[in-house]
Chains A and B, each alone.
Chain A
Amino acid sequence: MIALIIRRLIQSIVVMLTVALIAFTLFRFVGDPVAQMVGQDTSLEDRAQLRERLGLNDPVPLQFARYVGNTVKGNFGISYRIGRPVGALLAERLPATLELSFVAALFALLVGIPMGIYTALHPERWLSKAFLTISLIGISLPTFLIGILLILLFGVVLGWLPTFGRGAVVDLGFWTTGLLSVSGWKSILMPAFTLGMFQLTLIMRLVRSEMLEVLRTDFIKFARARGLTPRAVHFGHALKNTLVPVITITGLQLGGIIAFAIITETVFQWPGMGLLFLQAIQFADIPVMSSYLVLIALFFVIINLIVDILYHVVDPRLRIERQVGAGQ
């Protein structure tokens, strides 16, 4: 177990460095930050000086080394666009993104699992077919279009929901949350729905196919033979066996949620990290871009590590398999 963790940690460092390198290569090509950091009347001389101060004229390897060095020290630099330390900026935006992702994932689970169970237990009913088809239509449109259509319908035509932002936000000191106010909940509905739609479809289909498979196993047949009620069989036995892969996939899908949050946040002006990142791209705000990428990489590395460890803790078969595999 400890060996596994150490091995994974080393891999993680390699991954982080790779991401940092890619992120860094990227900077060279996102454009010139200087042109946007100064007004139109700023002289060429001042522009050149600024470029020099930012170190944009230094050789690339030197820039990279400086960047890695600073990042390791926890110094992410100052945003070129809004002049604030990037670390603080990301910390401020983190709650918004995590809250949105969390609500979206929760929505996907709470709606997707029952729908999946229903479609598995009653595959021939028209409602099941409707679920399957409607959910597919939902993922057949680009996210940004769904978002705008929702805004048009619920925000403008019906006027039920706010069209942008987080609503009233309560500051708990270490965290800002919109989940303690009515306007906060109203604000999160549309973005969370837009973001969770894809995961919902995925989870529903996963639950359905897993359930269908489990329901055919001897184990269920025996349970039925033992005279257990269908309810006990379906929920006590079948569902329980379905949930492990569902939870794993949901965990791994967190990455997808956070990535698609870039688009959702842009459409709904949700003040999270994704919006910050997209604005950084437009502005060529190098410190923000790179730190976001490195942070996201760190995030995924940690998720992966946790999933791996959980696997080994939960499923003893895997341990044996790996030993056999290693023996080969």
Chain B
Amino acid sequence: MRFKTLAVALAVTLVLGVSAQAKELRFAFQGDANSMDPYNLNETFTLGFLGNIYEALTRRTADLTIEPALATSWEVIEPTRWRFHLRRGVKFHDGRDFTADDVLFSFERVKSETSDLKTRVKTVKEVIKIDDYTVDFITTVPDPILIAEWDTWYIMSKGWAEENGAVTPQSATGDDENFATRNANGTGPFRLVSREADVRTVAEVNPDWWDNANKEHNLTKITFTPIGSDPTRVAALLSGQVDMAYPVPVQDMKRVDSNAETSVLVGPELRTIFIGMDQFRDELLYSDVKGKNPFKDVRVRKALYQAIDIEAIKEKVMRGLSTPSAMMIGAGVHGFDPAIERFPFDPEASKALLAEAGYPNGFRVGLDCPNDRYVNDEAICQAVVSMMAKVGVTLDLNAQTKGLFFGKVLRPSLDYSMYLLGWTPGSFDSHNVIYGLHGCPDDSGKGQFNLGGYCNVEVDALADKILSETDVKVRDGMITEAWAKTIAEVSYLPLHQQALAWGVRSNVSVKQRADNQFAWRHVVIQ
């Protein structure tokens, strides 16, 4: 009996061995998707991964243009009423037909308490089924960017979810595992074969995909392995155990590129890395300045800004793979203006500003920094500590894992004086950053990530207008105005946009998306 199991197992191994000669893509990333449930976590890698298996009403091309997917077309019939025409003849992986009921179900599910993607539909009041292939979305206010993030609001099958007891996403508190945590039933070009969290996730091509006629890829099977340790991941790529691995640590790019069989794809990422300062407390929590808050003085903020030699950070810490940024958004986000320049690096000007503000000998303040979140985050912080020391400002660096860091720095604790953080506007639009990182914080969610408490009512008013203004030209003018104000007031110390670095074997061609999502449907293996 045991022998038989073994024989079967061996046979399976053999078969797999043969099919490996078909076009299998093996790739590695530094972490794993948290769940196979597309509403579980609003996070780039998880959603990007599931975007190969599930599909949404819209999708983005490799250059991030929105195009139809499960919806063939849509129109705004009233300012608060959007009509979507659904694609006919689409089947889920389990064979069920895709209809308007699935969209309605997905709307209910994404709104449920345990969903983390509620923001996708936060302005949607209700969804009305017109017929099996037409649905209307009614919004509470006119929302010009309603569908900006809908490419990652994936449509789930109503019948499948109900049959398997997965009508709501996994609860963090229950005792049982939700069926959708390890199983997936989408309409996408690939379907899930097996899932072992942290070990291996396998998918295969979906022969019945609606867009197979236009397909670009030639894959039959995809094997994904998370590899957390940087050197190990690079080694796996160099030794040919994976065909693609990302991110490649910046210091290893030269090695990967100089290898005949591997190369690195580099591109700008939308995430902006910046340093924030506590501007709302009357006295800083971690500082030797007592009785007042130096960061309330714009001269101090500007002095710190000008003490940072961003080019040195780019050259040494980022190995040339960063784009120093004068704005809190990067190129590719709507509202970016390449003409705006950084305040120049100038330690003398910095010292003069500090003296003028009443700190000729500088002061001492704490800097909180994650050490496992962004590209070389701790090294950036160390470099900043050393640069600030040269203008007399002593930073006490507290580098910690992201678990500790976020708990300490984010609301509600706000237990910091200075911090390093990165931000990607999910909607690729300036409003997200103006509203979320510059709005005067209140309970409505405005300024939720404005941890420093920067507050300018004029910027606030602009943010409100930008949200609902439908005339693109007027809206762009408002965005420019808002940025000019916040930059002049040094609301933050923007550093750079880090670069994406994907390592690929030379026989594999992939398309890199600026949002760092890896779409397998663009992969071709020779």
Contact = CB atoms under 8 A, between A and B. Distances in A.
State yes or no: do A and B touch (Cβ within 8 Å): yes
Interface of A: 30-50, 53-55, 75, 77-78, 80-85, 88-89, 92, 148, 151-152, 155-156, 159, 162-165, 168, 170-173, 180-181, 266-269, 271, 275-276, 279, 281-284
Nearest to A283: B403
B42 A41 contact: yes
B37 A83 contact: yes
B403 A151 contact: no
Given A30-B403, A43-B448, A156-B235, A49 B196 contact: no
Contacts of B193: none
B493 interface: no
A267 B232 contact: yes
B172 A159 contact: no
Among A42, A48, A283, find the residue whose CB has the most chain B CB atoms closer than 10 A.
A42
B228 A266 contact: yes
Contact of B235 (A40, A85, A152): A152
Given A39-B41, A163-B241, A49 B113 contact: yes
Contacts of A53: 171-173
A54 B171 CA distance: 10
A293 to B, nearest CB: 16
Among B41, B172, B181, find the residue whose CB has the most chain A CB atoms closer than 10 A.
B172
B227 A50 contact: no
10 contacts: A31-B401, A37-B172, A44-B448, A46-B116, A53-B173, A82-B35, A83-B170, A84-B177, A152-B235, A269-B225
Interface string B107-136: 000000100111100000000000000000
Contacts of A92: 196
Contact of B119 (A35, A42, A49, A54): A42
B195 to A, nearest CB: 10
A170 B13 contact: yes
B64 interface: no
Nearest to B12: A170
B162 interface: no
Contacts of A276: 198
B181 A84 contact: yes
Given A31-B401, A85-B176, A163 B6 contact: no
A264 to B, nearest CB: 11
Contacts of A172: 2, 5, 9
Nearest to A84: B177
Given A162-B239, A164-B235, 16 more contacts: A34-B407, A39-B117, A44-B445, A47-B411, A48-B412, A55-B173, A85-B175, A152-B235, A156-B235, A163-B241, A165-B225, A168-B13, A266-B228, A276-B198, A282-B402, A284-B403
A180 B35 CA distance: 30
A42 B406 contact: no
A46 B118 contact: yes
Interface of B: 2, 5-6, 9-10, 13, 16, 32, 34-35, 37, 40-43, 113, 116-119, 170-178, 181-182, 196-200, 225-229, 231-233, 235-236, 238-241, 372, 400-408, 410-413, 423-424, 426, 436, 443, 445, 448-449
A124 to B, nearest CB: 42
B40 A83 contact: yes
A146 to B, nearest CB: 13
Nearest to A35: B406
Contacts of A85: 175-177
What are the 6 closest A-B residue pairs judged by CB atoms, nearest first? A39-B42, A32-B407, A31-B403, A35-B406, A284-B403, A31-B404
A162 B241 contact: yes
A80 B225 CA distance: 20
Nearest to B413: A32
Contact of B116 (A39, A162, A281): A39
Contacts of A181: 13
B403 A42 contact: no
Nearest to A171: B9
Contacts of B240: 159
B116 A40 contact: no
Nearest to B432: A41
Contacts of A50: 172
A48 B424 CA distance: 23
A88 B232 CA distance: 27
Contacts of B172: 37, 50, 53-54, 78, 80, 83
B42 A83 contact: no
A37 B41 contact: yes
A170 B9 contact: yes
B262 to A, nearest CB: 11
B234 to A, nearest CB: 8
B401 A32 contact: no
Contact of A281 (B2, B238, B239, B401): B401
